[in-house]
Structure formats: C-alpha cells, structure tokens
Amino acid sequence: MPDTVTLGDRLTVSPMGFGGMALTPVYGGEIDDTESIATLHHAIDVGVTFIDTANVYGGGDNERLIANVLADRRDEVTIATKFGIDGNPADRAGGEVRPRGDAAYVRQCVDESLARLRTDVIDLYYMHRRDVRVPIEETVGAMAELVTAGKVRHLGVSETTAAELRAAHAVHPIAAIQSEWSIWSLDIERTVVPTAVDLGIGVVPFSPLGRGFLTGSVRSAADLGERDFRKNIPRFTGSALDANQAVVAAVVDVAAEVGATPAQVALAWLRHRAETFGVASVPIPGTRRAARIDENLESLSVSLSAAQIERLSAAGESVSGERYADMRSVGTGRE
C-alpha cells in the first residue's frame, strides 16, 4: 500500500482520507465529542492524516471539534476545509441556504475557519459550491490572494463542471476537485475526471461508499431501506430503490468472493476506477467509529480481478435516480 498520494499542485497526502462531516449530526443520532476526538486521534495513529471538514458542518462546530486534535498534532495532519455555502443546512428555520462566492465572503470565511481550527494555515482550501452569480475568476482570485498571504497552502474546488474547473485552474493551480464519486455515483466521469487528468488535478471523492448505501449499519442489501435523511433523494424512492438494491447485492457478492467487507470492495473498486482513468485520487470516507477507519484503510490491500471489476462497473452503470433532488447545486446538474 502506498505511503502517500500526490494530488495536483504537488500536494502530498495520505492514501486514505477522513471525512469529518460524519462527526456532525447530519445523519441523525447522538454525537459524543469525546468519542469523536478519540476517533480522529486513531485515524492519525494509523496513517489517515488527510482530514476534511467545512465551515458549514455543524455551523462551525466540526472545525472546532477538529481543533482539539490539531492542538497537539498539527504537524501530522493535512487539514482541508471549505467555504461557499451561506447558511446552516441543519437549521431549517434559518432561511435560504445558497452558494456564495464573492471576494469579501472568501476573505471573511478563511479568517473564521482559521480561528475555529486554531491554526495559522489551512493546507487545502476548497470552494464548496460554485456561486453562479459571481464570476469564478473573482472567487478563485480571492482564494489565490490567501495563498500569497500565507493563510492557505493549496486551493481546491468542489462539485464544479469541467468548464468551471478549467476556468479556476487558469487563475491559480487547483490541487484537487472534491465531488461525489462511488459505484453509485459515476456522473463526474463524463467530463470532470477527464478534465482533471488533462490538467493534472487530483480527485477527492466524498461519500465513496455511496451516501446511505454502505454507511452506518447498511452493509448488505437487506439493510438498505428508507430513512429520514434519504427521503428526498430520488435514488432512494420507488422503483429506483429496488433497482439500486441490486447494486448493493453485487458489492456484497464480490465481498464474499474476496473475503473482504462490502465497504472495502466499494473502496477497492473506486481505487481501480481512478487508476483506469489515470487520475490521482484519495477518498475521504467518514465514520464515527475507529474500527471503521481500520476497515476502510485495509481496502488499500484488497485486490479485485478484472472480471469482478467489470461486474461491479456494470452494476454501477445501472444505478437509477439522481443523487440530489435538485442537481443545480452540483456541476453535473449544470453541464
């Protein structure tokens, strides 16, 4: 298993990352901060040192939580955070939540994140969502000023179109694009991944186990069912849900064949997929449990045969339903 992976702009990170949003009650359930901090420490202990968060997760609470770990281990961690979603998605009474990308907002957000993280510099700073009301050159130009000021080391974008990725990269080198990518979410493969390859930009897949498919207690087709956080996602409704259960079943079947868990197979398939495209890629699965970190990390040692990869890829091509009810917020919804 590789010790590191180099994304774009010479940013070198651990081959597996950690998605910090899992430590925010987005998907329900009680969160124990003591356990969350222990989970983060365990991730670093086993070499998962690329930690991803965002200012919008828990209204800043996720960054504050991670700051407790950075206090003693900042030099061991590559910390990524984001700006660009104005409002708190968890606060349904708080008004409209929408992308925002004006230069003044970029400057405001980075200072707030630095304060919450209690650090002097952010290793990778993402534009979380594209604000189509603002030229991308203005947003990325303001981000580039943060690099010059020493507040940020590398720049990233999230869920942009291929054209937006090119425009951003023309302003300042982009180290990574973060988008949903898994056996259940192949839409970025049409234009975004080839563009990333062409520009030498890395891809950081979020929800690499599929949002709601192999997360939490969902580790088999039998476990997959309706839950509150899925009720507005088209792929979890009606006939789409039935069709997508077959994809879970395919992953479970291959897992039994290779003696791995379904999550490990999903991650191994994604690794092979990125290799096929020739793109540097580091997924950031999230979890609240230290044991899941070990499980996910062990996927780097899982090998799949060409036939198994083809079977899983064919299953992925059959996924039914969009990944968001409103796709306009993500790049593939604007292409």
Give the C-alpha separation, 327 to 133, whole Å: 17
Give the C-alpha separation, 84 to 102, whole Å: 9
* CB contact at 8 A, 319 and 46: no
Residues 6+ apart with CB under 8 A from 276: none
57 has catalytic annotation: yes
CB atoms near residue 199 (< 10 Å): 17
Give the C-alpha separation, 109 to 125, whole Å: 11
Give the C-alpha separation, 198 to 308, whole Å: 28
Give the C-alpha separation, 50 to 71, whole Å: 16
Query: Out of 57, 105, 126, 324, which one is annotated catalytic?
Result: 57
Half-sphere exposure of 55 (CA within 13 A, CB side): 25
Query: Both ends of the chain: CA-CA distance in Å?
Result: 36
E-assigned strands of 148-197?
152-158, 174-180
Kindly list the catalytic residues: 57
